[in-house]
Protein backbone atom coordinates (compact mmCIF):
# COMPACT_ATOMS: atom_id res chain seq x y z
CA UNK A 1 0.00 0.00 0.00
CA UNK A 2 1.36 3.40 -0.99
CA UNK A 3 0.81 6.22 1.50
CA UNK A 4 1.70 9.83 2.23
CA UNK A 5 2.47 11.04 5.73
CA UNK A 6 0.97 14.49 6.47
CA UNK A 7 0.19 16.63 9.48
CA UNK A 8 -1.83 19.65 10.52
CA UNK A 9 0.02 21.39 13.36
CA UNK A 10 1.51 18.06 14.42
CA UNK A 11 -1.79 16.13 14.35
CA UNK A 12 -0.47 13.51 11.93
CA UNK A 13 -2.10 11.17 9.45
CA UNK A 14 -1.37 8.37 7.02
CA UNK A 15 -3.09 9.43 3.78
CA UNK A 16 -4.20 6.72 1.34
CA UNK A 17 -5.81 7.13 -2.09
CA UNK A 18 -6.96 4.82 -4.88
CA UNK A 19 -9.50 2.73 -2.98
CA UNK A 20 -13.08 2.67 -4.38
CA UNK A 21 -14.52 2.49 -0.85
CA UNK A 22 -13.40 2.10 2.75
CA UNK A 23 -11.63 -1.30 2.99
CA UNK A 24 -13.15 -3.90 5.30
CA UNK A 25 -9.86 -4.17 7.19
CA UNK A 26 -9.50 -0.40 7.70
CA UNK A 27 -9.88 -0.58 11.50
CA UNK A 28 -7.28 -3.35 11.78
CA UNK A 29 -4.91 -1.46 9.48
CA UNK A 30 -5.30 1.73 11.49
CA UNK A 31 -4.30 0.00 14.73
CA UNK A 32 -1.31 -1.63 13.05
CA UNK A 33 -0.03 1.25 10.93
CA UNK A 34 -0.61 4.08 13.42
CA UNK A 35 1.52 2.35 16.04
CA UNK A 36 4.53 4.63 16.58
CA UNK A 37 6.91 1.76 17.42
CA UNK A 38 5.80 -1.13 15.20
CA UNK A 39 4.12 0.80 12.38
CA UNK A 40 4.37 4.08 10.49
CA UNK A 41 3.08 6.10 13.42
CA UNK A 42 0.16 8.52 13.26
CA UNK A 43 -2.94 9.78 15.05
CA UNK A 44 -5.11 8.38 12.27
CA UNK A 45 -5.38 6.56 8.95
CA UNK A 46 -7.24 8.67 6.36
CA UNK A 47 -8.73 7.44 3.10
CA UNK A 48 -9.50 9.81 0.22
CA UNK A 49 -12.43 8.20 -1.60
CA UNK A 50 -14.86 9.02 -4.42
CA UNK A 51 -17.99 10.97 -3.46
CA UNK A 52 -21.37 11.42 -5.10
CA UNK A 53 -22.04 14.61 -3.12
CA UNK A 54 -18.69 16.41 -3.16
CA UNK A 55 -15.37 16.46 -4.98
CA UNK A 56 -13.97 13.83 -2.61
CA UNK A 57 -14.95 11.87 0.49
CA UNK A 58 -12.76 11.55 3.57
CA UNK A 59 -12.94 8.61 6.00
CA UNK A 60 -10.84 8.77 9.17
CA UNK A 61 -9.83 5.77 11.28
CA UNK A 62 -8.39 6.65 14.68
CA UNK A 63 -5.29 4.95 15.98
CA UNK A 64 -7.45 2.68 18.18
CA UNK A 65 -9.44 1.44 15.16
CA UNK A 66 -12.56 3.51 15.80
CA UNK A 67 -13.88 5.82 13.10
CA UNK A 68 -13.99 9.58 13.58
CA UNK A 69 -16.98 11.40 12.10
CA UNK A 70 -14.91 14.47 11.31
CA UNK A 71 -11.43 15.93 11.80
CA UNK A 72 -10.46 19.52 11.10
CA UNK A 73 -6.75 18.87 10.74
CA UNK A 74 -7.32 15.85 8.48
CA UNK A 75 -9.59 17.78 6.14
CA UNK A 76 -6.88 20.41 5.67
CA UNK A 77 -4.36 17.67 4.88
CA UNK A 78 -6.74 16.00 2.44
CA UNK A 79 -7.45 19.33 0.74
CA UNK A 80 -3.75 20.05 0.32
CA UNK A 81 -3.11 16.53 -0.95
CA UNK A 82 -5.72 16.54 -3.72
CA UNK A 83 -4.55 19.92 -5.06
CA UNK A 84 -0.80 19.41 -4.75
CA UNK A 85 -1.05 15.96 -6.36
CA UNK A 86 -3.11 17.18 -9.31
CA UNK A 87 -6.34 15.41 -8.39
CA UNK A 88 -8.20 18.71 -8.74
CA UNK A 89 -7.30 22.06 -10.29
CA UNK A 90 -9.47 24.66 -8.56
CA UNK A 91 -8.83 26.32 -5.21
CA UNK A 92 -12.44 26.07 -4.02
CA UNK A 93 -13.35 22.44 -3.42
CA UNK A 94 -15.68 20.29 -1.32
CA UNK A 95 -15.00 17.31 0.94
CA UNK A 96 -17.65 14.91 2.23
CA UNK A 97 -17.42 13.58 5.80
CA UNK A 98 -19.72 11.10 7.53
CA UNK A 99 -20.32 13.41 10.49
CA UNK A 100 -20.62 16.87 8.98
CA UNK A 101 -21.70 16.09 5.42
CA UNK A 102 -20.32 18.16 2.54
CA UNK A 103 -17.86 20.83 3.61
CA UNK A 104 -16.60 23.66 1.40
CA UNK A 105 -12.89 24.42 1.45
CA UNK A 106 -10.85 27.38 0.19
CA UNK A 107 -7.18 26.83 -0.63
CA UNK A 108 -4.50 29.53 -0.38
CA UNK A 109 -1.38 28.88 -2.45
CA UNK A 110 2.30 29.69 -2.08
CA UNK A 111 4.75 28.86 -4.88
CA UNK A 112 2.06 26.80 -6.61
CA UNK A 113 1.25 24.59 -3.62
CA UNK A 114 -1.31 24.81 -0.84
CA UNK A 115 -0.01 26.81 2.11
CA UNK A 116 -3.10 27.36 4.26
CA UNK A 117 -6.66 26.05 4.13
CA UNK A 118 -9.93 27.68 5.20
CA UNK A 119 -12.70 25.19 5.92
CA UNK A 120 -16.40 25.85 6.35
CA UNK A 121 -16.95 23.55 9.33
CA UNK A 122 -20.71 24.04 9.27
CA UNK A 123 -23.07 24.93 12.09
CA UNK A 124 -22.30 23.79 15.62
CA UNK A 125 -24.74 21.41 17.29
CA UNK A 126 -25.54 22.56 20.81
CA UNK A 127 -28.54 20.52 21.97
CA UNK A 128 -27.28 18.23 24.69
CA UNK A 129 -28.79 14.96 23.48
CA UNK A 130 -27.58 15.58 19.92
CA UNK A 131 -23.92 16.24 20.80
CA UNK A 132 -24.53 13.66 22.33
CA UNK A 133 -24.62 13.90 26.12
CA UNK A 134 -27.18 12.60 28.59
CA UNK A 135 -28.11 16.20 29.46
CA UNK A 136 -31.41 17.16 27.82
CA UNK A 137 -30.90 20.90 27.43
CA UNK A 138 -30.88 23.14 24.35
CA UNK A 139 -27.44 24.43 25.37
CA UNK A 140 -25.22 22.55 27.83
CA UNK A 141 -23.09 25.36 29.26
CA UNK A 142 -20.94 25.44 32.40
CA UNK A 143 -22.44 22.08 33.40
CA UNK A 144 -20.96 20.16 36.36
CA UNK A 145 -19.34 16.75 35.92
CA UNK A 146 -17.52 14.80 38.63
CA UNK A 147 -14.54 12.51 38.05
CA UNK A 148 -12.73 10.77 40.93
CA UNK A 149 -14.01 13.33 43.41
CA UNK A 150 -13.00 16.34 41.32
CA UNK A 151 -15.65 18.56 39.77
CA UNK A 152 -15.18 20.06 36.32
CA UNK A 153 -17.64 22.28 34.46
CA UNK A 154 -18.04 21.72 30.74
CA UNK A 155 -19.75 23.17 27.69
CA UNK A 156 -20.87 20.63 25.08
CA UNK A 157 -20.49 21.28 21.34
CA UNK A 158 -20.64 18.99 18.32
CA UNK A 159 -18.81 19.96 15.14
CA UNK A 160 -19.88 16.71 13.48
CA UNK A 161 -18.09 14.98 16.35
CA UNK A 162 -18.64 15.48 20.11
CA UNK A 163 -16.62 17.81 22.34
CA UNK A 164 -16.68 18.96 25.93
CA UNK A 165 -14.83 22.22 26.61
CA UNK A 166 -13.52 22.75 30.13
CA UNK A 167 -11.96 26.01 31.36
CA UNK A 168 -8.94 25.67 33.63
CA UNK A 169 -6.32 28.02 35.07
CA UNK A 170 -3.42 26.48 33.12
CA UNK A 171 -4.40 24.44 30.06
CA UNK A 172 -0.78 24.13 28.89
CA UNK A 173 0.25 22.12 31.95
CA UNK A 174 -3.01 20.19 32.38
CA UNK A 175 -2.55 16.51 33.26
CA UNK A 176 -4.15 15.07 30.12
CA UNK A 177 -3.13 11.49 30.86
CA UNK A 178 -5.02 11.47 34.16
CA UNK A 179 -8.19 13.34 33.32
CA UNK A 180 -8.54 12.89 29.57
CA UNK A 181 -9.45 9.18 29.44
CA UNK A 182 -11.76 9.42 32.45
CA UNK A 183 -13.72 12.28 30.91
CA UNK A 184 -13.72 10.69 27.45
CA UNK A 185 -15.44 7.56 28.76
CA UNK A 186 -17.69 9.20 31.38
CA UNK A 187 -21.27 7.80 31.38
CA UNK A 188 -22.55 11.31 30.62
CA UNK A 189 -21.15 10.87 27.08
CA UNK A 190 -22.83 7.88 25.40
CA UNK A 191 -20.53 7.91 22.33
CA UNK A 192 -17.46 9.02 24.30
CA UNK A 193 -16.14 12.54 23.75
CA UNK A 194 -13.19 14.74 22.80
CA UNK A 195 -11.98 16.77 25.77
CA UNK A 196 -10.59 20.31 25.44
CA UNK A 197 -8.95 22.08 28.37
CA UNK A 198 -8.89 25.83 27.74
CA UNK A 199 -7.37 28.95 29.28
CA UNK A 200 -8.63 32.21 27.81
CA UNK A 201 -5.92 34.87 27.58
CA UNK A 202 -7.88 37.67 25.89
CA UNK A 203 -11.03 38.29 23.85
CA UNK A 204 -9.25 37.00 20.75
CA UNK A 205 -6.76 34.41 22.07
CA UNK A 206 -6.98 31.18 24.06
CA UNK A 207 -4.68 28.27 24.90
CA UNK A 208 -6.12 24.79 24.33
CA UNK A 209 -4.89 21.28 25.03
CA UNK A 210 -6.81 18.25 23.84
CA UNK A 211 -7.47 14.63 24.67
CA UNK A 212 -8.92 13.17 21.46
CA UNK A 213 -11.46 10.41 21.54
CA UNK A 214 -9.83 7.29 20.13
CA UNK A 215 -6.36 8.82 19.87
CA UNK A 216 -5.39 10.29 23.25
CA UNK A 217 -3.33 13.49 23.57
CA UNK A 218 -2.57 15.07 20.19
CA UNK A 219 -0.68 18.19 19.22
CA UNK A 220 -3.75 19.76 17.62
CA UNK A 221 -7.45 19.24 17.00
CA UNK A 222 -9.24 21.36 14.42
CA UNK A 223 -12.79 20.49 15.41
CA UNK A 224 -11.73 20.97 19.04
CA UNK A 225 -10.50 24.47 18.27
CA UNK A 226 -13.84 25.22 16.60
CA UNK A 227 -15.75 23.83 19.58
CA UNK A 228 -13.56 25.91 21.89
CA UNK A 229 -14.45 29.15 20.12
CA UNK A 230 -18.17 28.32 20.10
CA UNK A 231 -18.08 27.44 23.80
CA UNK A 232 -16.12 30.61 24.57
CA UNK A 233 -18.67 32.78 22.79
CA UNK A 234 -21.51 31.02 24.63
CA UNK A 235 -19.73 31.63 27.93
CA UNK A 236 -19.01 35.27 27.03
CA UNK A 237 -15.23 34.98 27.34
CA UNK A 238 -14.13 35.61 23.73
CA UNK A 239 -15.36 37.41 20.63
CA UNK A 240 -16.62 35.50 17.57
CA UNK A 241 -13.15 35.50 15.99
CA UNK A 242 -10.11 34.27 17.89
CA UNK A 243 -6.78 32.53 17.61
CA UNK A 244 -6.80 29.16 19.36
CA UNK A 245 -3.27 28.16 20.36
CA UNK A 246 -2.59 24.42 20.39
CA UNK A 247 0.57 22.53 21.27
CA UNK A 248 1.44 22.20 17.57
CA UNK A 249 0.62 25.78 16.56
CA UNK A 250 -2.25 28.20 16.04
CA UNK A 251 -5.61 28.04 14.27
CA UNK A 252 -7.77 31.04 13.43
CA UNK A 253 -11.46 30.32 14.12
CA UNK A 254 -14.50 32.40 13.17
CA UNK A 255 -18.15 31.82 14.18
CA UNK A 256 -20.09 33.80 11.61
CA UNK A 257 -23.13 35.54 13.04
CA UNK A 258 -24.95 35.68 9.68
CA UNK A 259 -24.89 32.04 8.55
CA UNK A 260 -24.07 30.51 11.97
CA UNK A 261 -21.21 28.57 10.38
CA UNK A 262 -17.80 28.08 11.95
CA UNK A 263 -14.74 28.69 9.76
CA UNK A 264 -11.27 27.30 10.49
CA UNK A 265 -8.04 28.53 8.86
CA UNK A 266 -4.70 26.82 9.31
CA UNK A 267 -1.77 25.06 7.63
CA UNK A 268 -1.19 21.51 6.40
CA UNK A 269 2.11 19.89 5.50
CA UNK A 270 3.31 16.83 3.63
CA UNK A 271 6.15 15.01 5.38
CA UNK A 272 7.05 12.04 3.21
CA UNK A 273 5.78 9.29 0.89
CA UNK A 274 6.27 5.57 1.37
CA UNK A 275 4.89 2.09 0.90
CA UNK A 276 4.09 -0.66 3.36
CA UNK A 277 3.18 -4.34 3.07
CA UNK A 278 -0.28 -5.06 4.44
Catalytic residues: 71, 221
Is 260 marked as binding a ligand? Answer: no
Is 191 annotated to bind a ligand? Reply is no
Residue 209 CB contacts under 8 Å (≥ 6 apart), including other chains: 171, 172, 174, 176, 196, 197, 217, 246, 247
Any known ligand binding at 180? no
CA distance 55 to 48: 10
Helix (H) or strand (E) holding 224: helix 222-234
Q: Please, what is the end-to-end C-alpha distance for the chain in angstroms?
A: 7
Task: Please indicate if the annotation marks 11 as binding a ligand.
Answer: yes
Rg (CA), the chain: 18
Residue 136: strand, helix, or coil:
coil
Q: Is 212 known to sit in a ligand binding site?
A: yes
256 is in an annotated binding site: no
Q: Is 235 a known ligand-binding residue?
A: no
Quickly count: other Cβ atoms within 10 Å of residue 132's Cβ. 17
Nearest to 1 by CA among 268, 28, 12, 11: 28
Q: Is 218 annotated as a binding residue?
A: no
Q: Which residues are annotated as a binding site for substrate?
A: 11, 62, 72-73, 161, 194, 212-213, 222-223
Q: Which residues are annotated as a binding site?
A: 11, 62, 72-73, 161, 194, 212-213, 222-223
Amino acid sequence: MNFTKMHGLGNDFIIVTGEPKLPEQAAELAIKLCDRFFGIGADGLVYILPSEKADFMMRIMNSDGSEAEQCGNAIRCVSKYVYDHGMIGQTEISIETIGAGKQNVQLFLKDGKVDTVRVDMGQPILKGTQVPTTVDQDIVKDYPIEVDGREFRFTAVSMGNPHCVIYVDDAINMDLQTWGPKLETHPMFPRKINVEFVTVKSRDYADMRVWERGAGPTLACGTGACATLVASVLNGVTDREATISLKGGNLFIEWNEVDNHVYMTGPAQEVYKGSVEI
